[in-house]
Chains A and B, each alone.
Chain A
Amino acid sequence: MADGIDLTALCRGEKAAWDGFVRRYAGLILSAVRTAARAGSEVEDLVQEVFTRLCKDDFRLLKTYDPARAGMSTWLTIVARSTARDAQRRRQPMVTPIDAVPEILLAVSGAPPEHVRVPDELLSPRQKLILTLLYERDMEVAEVAGALGIDPQTVRSTHHKAMLKLRTHFAVGEKRAKS
């Protein structure tokens, strides 16, 4: 069972269980799809895409859900958004206006070629994620904290430690390159 839904009956394709599932989660899926839909998209069609995907191939996707690992509402929100994006891409490839791309990704550096090797493991995954959000998504500290569910002070502290590592690494590397 998950949130009062008999998963076994649902995955067996029992009509009563499916109808109960639809009544229970149609609103949640509609809300999730709205936040992922592009302007002009038919939201109700996207909701139908989500339900189709859930029952397709003998409920293959639904059978992958495990209530011990995450809540049904959370999982459905993520699945709904992902399905809506995929459906929209199939219908209409997205074109990103150049103004919407962060400048840092477009910048052409006149600096000389980099002679310093940078190991991928220099920064931890969380440090990489926070720096990505701050410098590529141009998010504020509070926004990053909200997105990751952590304290803003943690964001600042993680950013500071990452900067120390990068400064040290590049400073040492440049000295070696010169000598």
Chain B
Amino acid sequence: MTTPRDEAEGRTLWRRWRSRTANTAAPVDALLLAAYSEGRLNAGRAEAVEYWLAACPEALADVVAARAAAEAPPTVAPHAVIVRASALVTRPSAEIVPLRRIAPRWRAAIAWSGIAASLMATSLIGFALGSDAYFSTADTSAADSAFQTLLDPPTGLFSSFGEDNGI
């Protein structure tokens, strides 16, 4: 502005323009404002931020303050401030420890029963197959004799349990 007359004219024109338009700028978030403060935005994005800055004086003051803070000497906070802020987070780690899931007892009982039944069935089938194989391949008289021995063992085997023992 060179002369007071120019300034007065400028204000009048600006007032006329402002009275006829509404600034519908979308708010800008802190990260975008910070990027603008550091001169990181391209022309298009900077324009969008400036549109918002024209409508929001506080945002512009934030940008000015951010630029000034970048060049100012560091401030030391009182110890009490640091202790108070540190206390906001108390847990040493945010790691989540999953609890071991305990299955109901009846489920375990059913499972073990199934295993036992499987073993018994396997054993019986195996014994039956083995017996069939033996009797089909061996001499029948010898097989009969062996079978009789199994059912009615000689007295020497159970001599202590004979009929004359008086038990």
Which A positions have Cβ atoms within 8 angstroms of B?
12-16, 18-19, 22-23, 26-32, 35-36, 44, 47-48, 51-52, 55, 64-66, 69-71, 73-75, 77-79, 81-82, 85, 104, 107, 109, 114, 116-118, 120, 122-126, 128-129, 131-135, 137, 141, 146-147, 149, 159, 163, 166-167, 170
Q: A52-B88, A75-B31 are in contact. Are A28 and B54 (CB under 8 A)?
A: no
Measured between beta carbons, the chain B residues less than 8 angstroms from A52 are 88
Give the size of the chain B interface in residues (CB under 8 angstroms).
64
Query: Given A32, A47, A114, A118, which contacts B65 in the complex, CB threshold below 8 Å?
Result: A32
A23 — which chain B residues lie within 8 A by C-beta? 82, 86
Q: Are B90 and A30 in contact (CB under 8 A)?
A: no
Is the Cβ of B94 less than 8 Å from the Cβ of A13?
Answer: yes
Task: Give, as a whole number of angstroms, the nearest-CB distance from A48 to chain B.
Answer: 6
Give the residues in chain B near A137, CB-CB below 8 Å.
Answer: 57
4 additional A-B residue pairs with CB within 8 Å, beyond A28-B69, A70-B35, A159-B1: A28-B74, A48-B81, A81-B61, A166-B13
Q: Please report which residues of chain B, range 105-123, place their CB below 8 angstroms from some CB of chain A when the two chains form the complex.
A: none
**Cβ of B64: which chain A residues have Cβ within 8 Å of it?**
146-147
Of the candidates A22, A35, A69, A167, the one having the most CB atoms from chain B within 10 angstroms of its own CB is A22
Decide if A129 touches B69 in the complex (CB within 8 Å).
Answer: no
A104 adjacent to B11 (CB under 8 Å): yes
Among B44-52, B130-138, B149-157, B158-166, the stretch that binds chain A is B44-52
Evaluate whether A78 and B33 lie within 8 angstroms (CB atoms) in the complex, with A15-B89, A159-B1 already known.
Answer: yes
B7 to chain A, nearest CB (A): 9
Residues of A with C-beta under 8 A to B57? 137
- Does chain A have a CB within 8 A of B144? no
Tell me whether A48 and B31 are in contact (CB under 8 A). Answer: no
- A128:B54 contact, CB within 8 angstroms: yes
- Chain B residues near A26 (CB-CB < 8 A): 77, 81-82, 85
A126 B47 Cβ-Cβ under 8 A: yes
> Considering the complex, which residues of chain B in the window 28-58 have a beta carbon less than 8 Å from any beta carbon of chain A?
29-35, 37-40, 46-48, 50-51, 53-54, 57-58
Q: How far is the CB of A153 from chain B (nearest CB, A)?
A: 13
The CA of A122 and the CA of B20, in the complex, are separated in Å by 12
Interface pair A78/B53, CB less than 8 Å apart: no
Residues on A with C-beta less than 8 A from B101 are none
Residues of A within 8 A of B33 (CB): 78
Residues of A within 8 A of B65 (CB): 32, 35-36, 77-78, 81
Nearest neighbor of A123 in chain B, beta-carbon distance: B17
17 A-B residue pairings within 8 Å (CB atoms): A14-B94, A22-B85, A26-B77, A30-B81, A32-B69, A64-B31, A65-B31, A70-B34, A74-B38, A81-B61, A82-B30, A109-B15, A114-B16, A118-B16, A120-B21, A120-B22, A149-B39
